[in-house]
Structure 1
C-alpha cells in the first residue's frame, strides 16, 4: 500500500515537473501572440478615444474603465472559452472564422478610407424629430457602442491567440490566452486613458505657477494631441486593412505562398520585407473592402426596407 502511494506521488511530481517545464514557454508564447495581433491592438487603441469626445471630462476615465471592464469580461469568460471549445470540437472552423473577421476588418477599413474622401454636409434634423437625451443616457449609449466594436476586435484577437497555441498542452493554451486577454486589455485601455487625459496634463503643466520651460511643454502638448489623434486614426485604419488582408491571405494557400515568396525574396532586408508585405496586404485589403462594400450595397438595394432619414 505504501509503495503504491509513493509511486502515485512520484507520478504526480513528474506531471508537475512536465507542466512547469511547459509553462516556462508561456512568456515567449504570449509575446509572440501579442506581436501577431499588434495591428488589431493599434486599431482598438485608435478607435476607442472617440467614444469619450464631447462628454464630461471628469467622466472620461470612468467611461474608459467601464469599457475596459466589459472588454476583459468578454475576453475571459466568453471569447476564450468559446475559442477553446471550438478548437477542440471543430478546429476546422478556426481559419474560416478568422477569415470572416479579416473580411470585416477590410470592410471597416475601406469604409473609413472612403469617408475621408467623400465627406458630405450633415443633415440637421427637424427640432420636432430631435430626441432629448440625458448625459447619463448618452454615456451608456457610448459605452454600449464601444463594447460592440470592441467585442468584434476582441474576438479576432482571441481567435488569433488560439491559432498560435494549437497543439500545445491544454494548460498552456488556457494560460497563454488568459494572459494575452489581460495584457492586451490593460495595455490598450491604459494607453487610451493616457491619450484622453493628455490635454488635461498639458493644461496643468501650462499653469502660471510652473517654470517657463514646463509651461511651454504643456502648451505644446495641448496643441499636439489633436494632431496625434488624427495620426492614430490613420494608423488604425491602415492596420485594419493590413491585418484583415493578411489573415485572409494566410487562409488561402495560393496567396499564402505569394506572401512567403515575397518575404523570401527580400529576406536580406528584413525591414523592407516587412514594409513590402504590409503595403501589399494594405492595398489588397483596400480592394477587398471595396468589393465587400459593393456587395453590401447590392444586398441593401435588393432587400426592401423602410427608408430612414439621413
Structure 2
C-alpha cells in the first residue's frame, strides 16, 4: 500500500496529523467498482469523534489510494497483453513461410552484391533440416513449431522438416541494394524517434540495421510482434518503415528522410519520377520553412544519385 507520506500534501490538511491516525481493524481485500485492493481501516487516535475536516482529508487519502490501485492494475493488464504476444511461438504455416522469406530475402540481398565470373551468387544452395512439433488444431489446421530446449514433447509428435533452396543468377539489379548507392547496413538507432531502449529491444531480436528492420516491419504478422516489443501503435511503425525505405539511399539519414516525406517524396517511385532539380527545390524550400539549422542541405548531384538508385532498384531505365 503506498506510503501516506508520498501522497499529494495538498490533499492532507494540516489539522490531520499522521500520528493521530490509528488502525481500527484488520486488513482485508475489497473490490470497489471492479477494482480489487487492500483496505486498512483507520480512525482518529483522539477520544473525540473525527471532525469534518479530518474526515474530508481521510476521504482524499482513500481516493488517492484507490486511483493508484486502479492505475497499477491497468498497467499490469497492459504488460500482461504485451508479454502474451512476445512469448508466442510460430505455429501456422504462414509464420514459418514469413520467417523463411525474410531469411531468403536477406541472403539474396547479400549474395547479389557479390561478384564472380559465373554469377552474382557466391553460395549455390541453402538447406534447412530441423525437428518440429506437429499437431492439428480444433479447426483442422496443421500447426507446427520448432522444438526448443527443455520442451516436454512426446517423441511421437516430433517430425522432420527439410527444405532446399537453390538460388539462380540474376540478370539485372532490380530489387537489389547495390553497395555504392544504398546503405542497408545503417543502424536502427538512426531512425528518427527511436529511443535507446527501443533500439536495444530490436537488436536483442536480431534487428540491427534499417535493412533488417524494413524486411520485418512491412510484414503484417511481424508488425503485431514489433508493436508489442516497442510499445508503439501501428501508425508509428509504418512511419519508421517509410523512413527506413528512404534511408536505404546513401546520404539519407533520419532527418533527411523526414523532410523528404513531409515534402511529398515518400518512396522510390516518387524519387524515380522527379528530376534532381525538383527534389532539391522541394526539399530546400521545406528546410528553409522548418529551420535550416536542423536539417542538412542537399544538392542536385546527391539527388541525382538517389534517382539512379531508385530507378535501378525498380528496374527502370536510368536517366540520361
Which structure features the higher share of strand residues? 2
Mark yes or no: TM-score above 0.5. Answer: no
Instruction: Tell me which of the two structures has the higher relative contact order, counting C-alpha pairs closer than 8 angstroms and 6 or more residues apart.
Output: 1
TM, length-normalised to structure 1: 0.23
Greater helix share, 1 or 2? Answer: 1
* TM-score, normalization by structure 2: 0.22
Which one has a bigger Cα radius of gyration? 2
